[in-house]
A = this chain, B = another copy of it.
Amino acid sequence: MADHEHPPFAVTADVVAMTLVAGKLSVLLVRRAADPFAGSWALPGGFLAPDEDADAAAARELGEETGLVLEPSADGRTAGTGHLEQLRTYSDPGRDPRMRVVSVAYVAVLPEPAVAEAGSDAADVRWFAVDDLDFPLAFDHARIVGDAVERIRSKLEYTTLAAAFCAPAFTIPELRRVYEAVWGAPIDGPNFSRKVTSTKGFVVETDEHRPASTAGGRPPRLFRRGSASVLFPPLLRAGSPPAPT
């Protein structure tokens, strides 16, 4: 390893924050004010501070936009609800027209109630359903969002990540709707319920029930997230195989 003559790099952490909005998988975007791609939508993110690593920078940037504090752990699970994990690093020399910027991208999963669009500016921070992203994003952020969606889709199969989309207490049908929204395919309710409740550590039962909706129906039981982070055996998508990581 040489230790001189290396060119100047800027390093950023960019976050693909995801949640369910009105039952649709959505990502958080911010409208750029400054020069390159001014007016375009982009991922929240920013430069690493001198004393912080990329995990901390991602958590900080996410907190600045959503008001939520997620402490990333080894497997991405956070102390409370939510999830924050590294996705991959994008380093194409031309990805920022100003200079050499290497971006460490993250995926965050937030429970739906936390959709608070507090943070910095008001109408310049918005959730977009991923299926509605038919306009170009700044930099290579469209590609990053695509990679993040594919990561999340694939991780629902063999981890308990779906619970990160839910509030601390949730029902089995709510969890099922997470799978249906992310995978875009219906899932058999009875079999899903059995699978989830019989997989040790996925969910833990409480003795509470959510009140039935105004449309009627049996009040569903409430569950909390279990201690397991992997799902074994996995919950495989029926049809097409997933793309590799």
- Report the minimum CB–CB distance from A198 to chain B (whole Å): 15
Which residues of B lie under 8 Å from residue A6 when comparing CB positions? 10-11, 47-48
1/0 per residue A1-42: CB within 8 Å of B?
A: 111001111111000000000000000000010110000000
A136 contacts partner chain B, Cβ-Cβ < 8 Å? no
A46 x B2 contact (CB < 8 A): yes
A155 contacts partner chain B, Cβ-Cβ < 8 Å? yes
B91 x A88 contact (CB < 8 A): no
Which residues of B lie under 8 Å from residue A2 when comparing CB positions? 46-47
Interface of A is mostly: loop
| Partner pick for A1 among B8, B45, B85, B155, CB 8 A cutoff | B45
Tell me the A residues contacting B by CB distance below 8 Å. Answer: 1-3, 6-12, 32, 34-35, 45-55, 75-76, 85-86, 88-89, 91-93, 98-100, 102, 104, 155, 158-159, 229-234, 236, 241-245
Tell me the bound Cα distance from A142 to B212 in angstroms: 53
B91 x A104 contact (CB < 8 A): yes
A93 x B50 contact (CB < 8 A): yes
Tell me the bound Cα distance from A102 to B9 in angstroms: 10
Tell me the bound Cα distance from A52 to B102 in angstroms: 11
B46 x A1 contact (CB < 8 A): yes
| Partner pick for A89 among B1, B35, B104, B158, CB 8 A cutoff | B104
B98 x A3 contact (CB < 8 A): yes
Which residues of B lie under 8 Å from residue A159 when comparing CB positions? 244
Told that A88-B88, A234-B236, A245-B245 touch, could you supply 12 new A-B pairs with CB distance under 8 A? A2-B47, A3-B98, A6-B47, A7-B49, A8-B8, A50-B100, A75-B243, A85-B245, A86-B89, A89-B104, A159-B244, A229-B244
- Report the minimum CB–CB distance from A180 to chain B (whole Å): 20
* A7-B50, A34-B3, A91-B54 known; A230 vs B245 contact (CB < 8 Å): no
A93 x B51 contact (CB < 8 A): yes
Ranked nearest first, the 7 interchain pairs of A and B with the lowest CB-CB distance are: A232-B241, A54-B91, A7-B50, A6-B47, A53-B91, A230-B241, A89-B89
